[in-house]
Amino acid sequence: MSQLRIGILQQKKTADIIENMKAIEENVTDLARRGAELIILSELHNSLYFCQVEDVNNFDLAETIPGPSTDFFGELARRLGVVMVISLFEKRAAGLYHNTAVVIEKDGTIAGKYRKMHIPDDPAYYEKFYFTPGDLGFHPIQTSVGKLGVLVCWDQWYPEAARLMALQGADLLIYPTAIGYETSDTPEEQQRQRTAWTTVQRGHAVANGLPVVTVNRVGFEPDPSGQTKGIQFWGSSFVAGPQGELFYQASDDDEESLVLDIDLGHSEQVRRWWPFLRDRRIDEYGDITKRFID
C-alpha cells in the first residue's frame, strides 16, 4: 500500500494506570473512527515516567509480554481493525527488565517487538537502573500496513539505528518518546534541546529517504524525590516526510490526537533523486564499529 493514514496520540499521564489506559482506549477508538490505520502511542504510556527516581518498588510496574497490556491493546486493535505501536515496561525474568515497544496487528496478535537499545542515564532519566539494553537488534517489523522501523526515544539520536532499519526495508521510522525539559535549565537552553531533537530526527528522514513519526508525552510530572524540579515533557510530536519536511508538529504543552495521511510510495521517488544508499562507501566504514578511533 502507498497511502497510509496514521494516528498519533500525545497525552498527559497520571499516577492512575487504569485511568491512563481508559483514556488511551477512548482516544484510540476516536482515531480509528477518523480513519487511522496505524496508531502510535508515546513511550511507557501506561504510567507516569517512573525513571525520575531509582526505586526498586517501581519494578512492580513491569509486566510480561504477552501479558495484561498486550491482551488489552490486542483486543482493542482487533475490535477497531487497526495496527498499534505500544510501549511497555517488560518483565522478562526476575531481575531482567526491558523498555519494549510492541506492534499489535489488526487481528490483535503481536506482530513483533523491539527492545530499546540505547539506555540513557542522566539526572531525572535513570533508565539504566531499570532497563537492560535490548538484544533483539535493529529489525523492522512486518505488518499489514507496511514494514515498521520501530525504535524508542534515546535511540532517536543515533543515525546508525535509523540506517540499519532503512537497510532492511523499513517503510517508515517510528519513535515512541518520553522527553522533556529539566525545569532548572534556562528557556534558551530548553529551546536548543528541543530544536536539536527535532533536527536530528528530520536528518534521519533525509539521510534514509523515509518518513519519521515521533510521538512524545506532554505535561508536567514532578520528581518524587524532590532532587530536581521535575520534568516538563515538551510534546511537539511530529511527522516528517522523506526529505525532512514537517507535515505536522503538535503543541509543546497540550494533548493532541491527530490523523495524517502519508504517501509511503513517495520515498521511492526521493531515493531516485537522492541515491544516498547507492553512493555509500561501504568498503570504507569498518571503523564505525569502534568506540573511538585514536
- Element (H or E) spanning 25, and its range? helix 17-33
pLDDT for residue 227: 87
Domain 3-280: homologous superfamily in CATH: Carbon-nitrogen hydrolase (3.60.110.10)
Task: Spell out, as residue ranges, where the chain has pLDDT lower than 50.
Answer: none
C-alpha cell belonging to residue 116: 530499546
Determine the Cα–Cα distance for residues 232 and 220; give it in Å rounded to an integer: 4
CB-CB contact of 28 with 235 (8 Å): no
pLDDT for residue 95: 96
What single DSSP character describes residue 252?
S
How many helices (H) and strands (E) the chain has is answered by: 6, 17
DSSP secondary structure, 143-206, as one string:
ETTEEEEE--GGGGG-HHHHHHHHHTT-SEEEEEE--EEETTS-HHHHHHHHHHHHHHHHHHHH
- Where exactly are the structural domains of the chain? 3-280
Residue 145's identity, in one-letter code, is V
pLDDT for residue 184: 80
What single DSSP character describes residue 134?
P
Termini Cα distance of the chain: 47
pLDDT for residue 129: 98
CA 293 vs CA 28, 161, 290: distances in Å: 47, 20, 7
Closest CA to 180 of 221, 240, 130, 227: 221
Mean residue pLDDT across the chain:
97
The pTM for the full model equals 0.97
| β-pair type (121-122, 110-115) | unpaired
pLDDT for residue 1: 55
Q: Which residues are catalytic?
A: 43, 116, 153
3-state secondary structure of 114: strand
Neighbours of 5 (CB within 10 A): 18
Q: Encode pLDDT of 204-238 as tens digits.
A: 999 999 999 999 999 999 999 988 889 999 999 99
Spell out a b/e string for 29-58, using b for 16 or more CB atoms within 10 Å of the CB, else e.
eebbeeebbbbbbbbbbbbbbbbbbeeeeb
CB-CB contact of 241 with 202 (8 Å): no
